């Protein structure tokens, strides 16, 4: 498997793309989240991962993907892709924005009529050395609650033993951009990056359950440490 890292000699278009995304997420969006929204960042592990990573987070807001991109290492930000639903973002300006501003990959939520499995598309990206941001609930859930994780993360991690799965818990962003709204409001929030999980011989279900348990444990930790965003 090829491995992109900071020492890789970048072609001009890749270098330009990396510079654009660093400015967009490490400067512009980091300022929006930090100064306007007042999002608190908490990291359990501050070591930058140099190779492919599978980031996994709960999902309540359209801000989630942008927030996660702000914690991706700068050297790999252009090689990191949020996984989004093609049926929702597959046309018009939404499609253009997801592809060119969010660096997303759009997939069908189920196996296509021709039998093509969307997991195969994501598997190929990991083989190329790219990183993925997954929202295993499959859709934005009920604000403030977490649904059961689908098995996609289990399938991908089981095919790529050794690739870190990084659990992330997002709290409060559904208040900053409520479902059905288009204007950001400054209600605060918390982004907690957990310790990487590395799997080897675990089954698809074991990986899926362990990943969900890690995100739920972070939610519990925030609630009981009084760092959870207070209700408005």
**Residue 143 sits in which domain range?**
12-224
pLDDT over 70 at 23, yes or no: yes
Hey, CA dihedral for 2, 201, 119, 180, is it positive or negative? negative
Confidence (pLDDT) at 92 = 79
In a domain, residue 157? The reply is: yes
Q: What is the pLDDT of residues 86-136, one digit of tens each?
A: 766 666 777 888 888 889 998 876 665 456 788 999 999 999 999 999 999
pTM of the model: 0.85
Are 190 and 222 in contact, with CB atoms under 8 Å apart?
yes
- List Cβ neighbours of 178 (8 Å cut-off, separation of 6 or more): 61, 143
In a domain, residue 40? The reply is: yes
Q: What is the pLDDT of residues 143-195, one digit of tens each?
A: 667 889 999 999 999 999 999 999 999 998 877 765 666 666 677 889 999 99
Confidence (pLDDT) at 183 = 61
Q: What tokens were used for 177?
A: 């951009």
pLDDT over 70 at 18, yes or no: yes
Q: Tell me how far CA of residue 153 lies from CA of 29, 58, 100, 163, 176, in angstroms.
A: 27, 13, 24, 12, 27
CATH code for the domain in which residue 138 is found:
3.40.1130.10
In a domain, residue 128? The reply is: yes
Q: Which residue has the higher pLDDT, 53 or 182?
A: 53
User: First-to-last CA distance in the chain?
Assistant: 47
Q: Which residue has the tokens 């519990």?
A: 220
In a domain, residue 4? The reply is: no
For the chain, what is the domain count?
1
**3-state percent helix, strand, coil for the chain, nearest multiple of 5:** 40, 15, 45
In a domain, residue 231? The reply is: no
Gap between the Cα atoms of 149 and 152, Å rounded: 8
In a domain, residue 33? The reply is: yes
In a domain, residue 2? The reply is: no
Q: Which residue has the higher pLDDT, 156 or 45?
A: 156
In a domain, residue 123? The reply is: yes
Q: What is the pLDDT of residues 68-92, one digit of tens each?
A: 999 999 999 999 999 987 766 666 7
DSSP letter (8 states) at residue 162: T
Confidence (pLDDT) at 123 = 96
């Amino acid at each position: 498997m090829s491995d992109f890292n900071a020492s890789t000699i970048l072609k001009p278009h890749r270098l330009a793309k990396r510079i654009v995304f660093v400015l967009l997420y490490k400067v512009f969006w980091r300022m929006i989240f930090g100064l306007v929204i007042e999002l608190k960042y908490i990291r359990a592990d501050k070591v930058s991962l140099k190779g492919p990573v599978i980031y996994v987070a709960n999902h309540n807001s359209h801000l989630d993907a942008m927030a996660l991109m702000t914690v991706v290492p700068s050297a790999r930000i252009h090689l990191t892709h949020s996984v989004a639903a093609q049926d929702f973002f597959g046309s018009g300006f939404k499609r253009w924005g997801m592809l060119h501003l969010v660096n997303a990959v759009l997939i069908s939520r189920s196996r296509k009529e021709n039998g093509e499995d969307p997991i195969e598309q994501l598997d190929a990206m990991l083989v190329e050395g790219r990183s993925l941001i997954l929202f295993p609930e499959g859709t934005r859930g009920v604000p403030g609650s977490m649904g059961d994780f689908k098995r996609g993360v289990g399938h991908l991690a089981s095919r790529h033993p050794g690739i870190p799965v990084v659990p992330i818990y997002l709290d409060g962003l559904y208040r900053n951009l409520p479902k059905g709204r288009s204007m950001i409001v400054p209600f605060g929030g918390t982004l907690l990056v957990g310790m990487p999980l590395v799997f080897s011989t675990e089954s698809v279900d074991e990986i899926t359950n362990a990943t969900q348990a890690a995100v739920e444990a972070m939610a519990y930790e925030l609630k009981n440490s009084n760092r959870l965003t207070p209700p408005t």
